[in-house]
Structure 1
Amino acid sequence: MTAQGNDWSQWGALWRDQPAIDVARLRRDAARKRWRMRVFVALEIAMSLVAFGSCLWRMMTTSGRWQLWSGASLLLVILLQILYLHVRRGTWRASGQDVRSLQQLTIVRAKAGIRLARINLWSTLAWTVFTLLISAPELEPSRWQADHRLRLMLTLQVAVNGPLILATVALCAWYIRRQRKRIESVGAMGLSEDAPAHRI
C-alpha cells in the first residue's frame, strides 16, 4: 500500500473515532438556555430595582457613615447591572444553526458565565469588606456589649448575611468549575475555545 493510501486510512480511522454530535439536541439546548437567560435577566433587573430603591431610601433616611454606605451601595447596584448586561452581549443567539456555530455559542456562554461569576464573587467580597469598615465603630465590644438592641441587630445580621455570603462564594466557585468543564467538553469535540464567531 502506498504512503498516500496509508494517510487516507489513518484519516478515515480518525474520522470514525470522532464522537457523534446530536445537532438537534444542540439546537434544543441553545433555545432552552436562551429562555432561561431571559427569565434570569428579568429577575435580575427586578432585584436590581428593589436594591436601587432600598439604597435610595437609606440615603434619604440616614446620615454620616451610613449615608456614605448607602450611596456606595447604590452605585454598586448600578455598576453591576451594567456589567451584567455588557457581559451577556453576544450570548443570545448563534451565528447559524450548524454544529460549529452552536458549539461556539456554548463556549461564548460558558466564558460569559465565568466572567459573571467572578464579578459576583469579587463584588460580594468588596461589599463585605466595605461594610465591615463602615460598621467598625458598632463592632467594638464596648459598644454592642452595652447596647442590647445593637447586639441583637448584629447577631441578626451575622446570622442572615454570613451564610448568604458563604453560599455566594461557594456557588460562584462551583459555577466557574462547571463552565470550565463545559468548555473542555466542547474542546474535546474538536472546536477551539478561542473560536470567535457569534452574533451580537
Structure 2
Amino acid sequence: MIVAHGGVQPTIHPTAYVAPTALVSGDVEVGPHCRVLFGAVLTADGGPVRLGEHVIVMENAVLRGTARNPLHVGSHSLVGPHASVTGAEIGERAFLATGCSVFNGARIGAGSEVRVHGCVHLRTTLPPGATVPIGWVAVGDPARIMPPAHHDAIWAIQRGLDFPGYVFGVDRDDPDAMVTLTERYSRALGAHRDDSILRDERSGT
C-alpha cells in the first residue's frame, strides 16, 4: 500500500518492487532494483526514509525516519525479517539480520553485520566491517560490543545516551515520564489520521 503522509508522496523507482501487503508512507524514496517484501513497513514519521540501489527489505521489517534522525540505507544492503531500524545511517553492503534492532542516531559503517537479534543502540557508531554477534549489543561512540549478560556495563554507557530524552524529550527520572511520553507521541502519530491511500495493490486500485 502506498500512502501520502504529511502532504508528501513516496517515490518508488520503476525498477523497484513493493509487495502488495507492504506499506510505504510519506517521504520515502525506494531506489532502483530495491525489493520491499510482504508486511514490511517504510514510514516517514517526521523525517525521510531513503533506500539506495538494490536494497532488500525482508518480510515484516519496520524502517522509520524521524524529524531528528532521517533513515538512509546504503546500496546493496539487506534488512532481514522482523528487523526494526529507526532514524539511522546504514552504510553500503550492510547486513541487518532477522530480528535485529537499530535505534535513533545510530551509524553503521559499510560492510558491517548486525546478526540475528543483535542490537545497535541509540547514537551508537559501528565502524566499517564491524560485526555484532547473535543477540549481542553495540552501544556508544565508538561502539563497545558486548553480550547481553553484561547488562551493568551496557547500562553504564546506555544511561548517558539518554534514550527517553533524546527520542521523546522526556526526563527519565520524572515519575510521570510515561504519561508525558505516550501523550506526546500519540499527538505526533495522530497526524496519520489525515493520510490518503494512493495505491492499494491488494485491491488493484
TM-score by length of 2: 0.22
Q: Which has the higher helix share?
A: 1
Structure ID, larger Rg: 1
Structure number with higher relative contact order (C-alpha < 8 Å, ≥ 6 residues apart)? 1
